[in-house]
Amino acid sequence: MDHFLYKSGQLHAEDVPLAEIAASVGTPFYCYSAATLTRHFRLFDEALAGVDHLVCYAMKANSNLAVLKLLADLGAGMDVVSGGEYRRARAAGVPGERIVFSGVGKTRDEMRLALEGGIRQFNVESEPEMEALNDVALALGTVAPITVRVNPDVDAKTHEKIATGRKEDKFGIPISRAREVYAHAARLPGLKVIGIDVHIGSQLTDLAPFEAAYAKVADLTAQLRADGHEISRLDLGGGLGIPYERSNADPPLPSDYGAMVQRVLGDLGCEIEIEPGRLIAGNAGVLVTEVIYLKEGEEREFLIVDAAMNDLVRPAMYGAHHDIVPLDEAAPGAETHLYDIVGPVCESGDTFAKRRALSALAAGDLIAFRSAGAYGAVMASEYNSRPLIPEVLVSGDQFAVIRARPTFDEMLNRDTIPEWL
For the annotated catalytic residues, the residue numbers are 346
Rounded distance, CA 203 to CA 47, Å? Answer: 19
DSSP 278: H
Pick from 39, 40, 30, 96: nearest CA to 64 = 30
3-state secondary structure string across 324-363? EEECECCCCCCCEEEEEEECCCCCCCCEEEEEEEEECCCC
Instruction: Check: CB of residue 37 under 8 Å from CB of residue 384.
Output: no
Strands 366-369, 324-326: pairing is antiparallel
Instruction: Check: CB of residue 100 under 8 Å from CB of residue 80.
Output: yes
Task: Kindly list the distances between the CA atom of residue 185 and the CA atoms of 36, 132, 138, 145, 323, in Å, as whole numbers in the listed order.
Answer: 41, 12, 14, 11, 47
Q: What is the DSSP string of 363-388?
A: TT-EEEESS-SSSSGGG---GGGPPP
Pick from 8, 42, 400: nearest CA to 255 = 42
Task: Kindly list the distances between the CA atom of residue 165 and the CA atoms of 43, 79, 174, 207, 294, in Å, as whole numbers in the listed order.
Answer: 25, 18, 10, 14, 44
> Cβ atoms within 10 A of the Cβ of 339, count?
25
Q: Is 243 exposed, middle or buried (0-12, 13-18, 19+ CB in 10 A)?
A: middle
Rounded distance, CA 359 to CA 368, Å? Answer: 13
Prior bond of 332 cis (ω within 30°): no
H-helix or E-strand containing 210? Answer: helix 208-226
Task: Kindly list the distances between the CA atom of residue 32 and the CA atoms of 38, 96, 280, 303, in Å, as whole numbers in the listed order.
Answer: 11, 26, 11, 25
> Cβ atoms within 10 A of the Cβ of 348, count?
8
Task: Kindly list the distances between the CA atom of residue 23 and the CA atoms of 214, 270, 393, in Å, as whole numbers in the listed order.
Answer: 49, 51, 15
